[in-house]
Amino acid sequence: MKKDLGVQATVFPMPVLMVAAYDENDKVNVMNVAWGQICAADRIYLAIGKGKKTLSNIQKTGAFTVAFADRAHMEEADFFGVASGNKIDDKFERTGFTAVMSDKVHAPVIEEFPLTMECEFLEEVDTEYIHGVVGRIVNVKAEESVLDEEGKVDVTKLHALMFDQYRHGYYEVGEHAGQAWNAGMGLMDK
């Protein structure tokens, strides 16, 4: 029997995304965004609230990167979510992480995260119900350690973190459960 839980943000899993951008002086800022998703083959939407340092940086520079947080860097990824770039000037430096300039967009690539999307800022979405940014993915960079024999990202090697809205936990992406566009084919003949 199901129990009524009321209104909750119940989409799970939610990727733990590290959004990085330079300010007007090329200083790195990174924020943790759990509410983000692909919205077209080469587009990403990130729910970023007004007043965030990273939002201001994206608006000024016209670019950003999105990396997937992994288990090995959970402490730093969480710090990027709890610390405000508006209040802590050395937020990025405190982690000891390394950033290099993307060769595709004017945004930092955080070396410690194994998979990064390089994005051009397309538009700010500001309606009565949502606020965020849409970017065009111009390239994806991946460490060879997270690729399979065919050069594709192997999510079991990525050790990507997922955010649990229910109990505010982080979980690691796990084992392969089945193949998309194949697991349900047996029902086609019924």
Break the chain into its structural domains and give their ranges.
14-189
What local confidence, expressed as pLDDT, does residue 77 receive?
97
Q: Which helix (H) or strand (E) holds 10?
A: none
Instruction: Tell me which architecture the domain covering 14-189 has in CATH.
Output: Roll (2.30)
Model pTM score: 0.94
How crowded is residue 187: how many other Cβ atoms within 10 Å of its Cβ? Answer: 7
- Partners of residue 110 on adjacent β-strands: 99
Report whether 121 contacts 64 (CB < 8 A): yes
Q: What is the pLDDT of residue 90?
A: 94
pLDDT at 165: 86
Quote the tokens at residue 95: 């982690």
154-161 contacts, C-beta under 8 A, 24 or more apart: 158/68, 158/70, 158/114, 158/115, 159/70, 159/71, 159/72, 160/15, 160/16, 160/68, 160/69, 160/70, 160/115, 161/15, 161/16, 161/68, 161/69, 161/70, 161/71, 161/74, 161/77
- Cα(103)–Cα(92) distance, rounded to whole angstroms? 20
pLDDT tens per residue, the chain (190 residues)? 999 989 887 788 899 999 999 999 999 999 999 899 999 999 999 999 999 999 999 999 999 999 999 999 999 999 999 999 999 999 999 999 999 999 999 999 999 999 999 999 999 999 999 999 999 999 999 999 999 999 999 999 999 999 998 888 999 988 888 899 899 998 988 7
| DSSP letter (8 states) at residue 183 | T
Question: What's the gap between Cα 119 and its chain centre?
Answer: 12
List the beta bridge partners of residue 135: 44, 121
